[in-house]
Amino acid sequence: MQPADIPLKLTQSSALFLDRDGVINRRLVGEYVRKWEEFEFLPGVLQALKVMSSIFHRIFIVTNQQGIGKKLMTEDDLFLIHKNMEEAILNVGGRIDRIYHCPDLADSGSDFRKPRPGMAFLAKADFPDVDIPSSVMVGDSESDIGFAKNAGMQSVFIAPQPIEKRKLSPEPTLVMKDLLSFALLIQEQYKIS
């Protein structure tokens, strides 16, 4: 039975897909997080990931990283950032099952660059037990919501300032102020301790 208060429909096979910059860590406006020292978790994110780990069957990060395509950083730089990020998440009792990134430039036409759904299909191929229609993409850009729509999943738009979901195109399933607010809402609605 689904809670009536929220429009999401979760199952035991639902996965959580997360954008990185602006959802997990502070976005550097007009810049790229190129090294671990520039990476800063947003408030409440580590607690949110601990909560989400008990709710979602799988948790993935799907992130466009064209800083690699622009030669501003390397795959090794990104690997080190993600290794440190995952260790911090594990240390608080959270988890990330897999990180997918697309290094291609925005004008490349790559099927793996959001809003195209290639990274969702990679996750489904790697984890066939994931139910995409009951999965949720959480992001802070319209390309994240487009990714969800193109993959056939539900979406949550992170907006620190109030915004009406119908002003976004495509329209997300839900709008929340941050990842922790979403985690606590799901925890309460599904009575998960």
Q: Where are the domains of the chain?
A: 15-189
Output the pLDDT for position 163: 81
- Global pTM value: 0.94
Output the pLDDT for position 104: 97
Output the pLDDT for position 192: 58
CA-based nearest residue to 47, from 114, 93, 6: 93
Distance between CA atoms of residues 125 and 142, nearest Å: 25
The separation between CA 76 and the C-alpha centre of its own chain, rounded to angstroms, equals 21
For the segment 44-61, what is each residue's pLDDT rounded down to a tens digit?
Answer: 999 999 999 999 999 999
Output the pLDDT for position 5: 62
Residue 165 corresponds to which tokens in the numbers above? 């979901």
Catalytic residue among 5, 19, 131, 144: 19
For the segment 150-160, what is each residue's pLDDT rounded down to a tens digit?
Answer: 999 999 999 98
Distance between CA atoms of residues 58 and 7, nearest Å: 20
The SS3 assignment for 58 reads strand
Q: Is-catalytic flag, 77?
A: no
List the chain residues with pLDDT less than 70: 1-5, 191-193
Domain 15-189 has CATH 3.40.50.1000: yes
Contact yes or no for 159/178 (Cβ under 8 A): no
Q: Is-catalytic flag, 178?
A: no
Catalytic residue among 5, 21, 107, 126: 21
Residue 116 corresponds to which tokens in the numbers above? 């195209």
Output the pLDDT for position 190: 74
Contact yes or no for 118/112 (Cβ under 8 A): yes
Output the pLDDT for position 4: 45
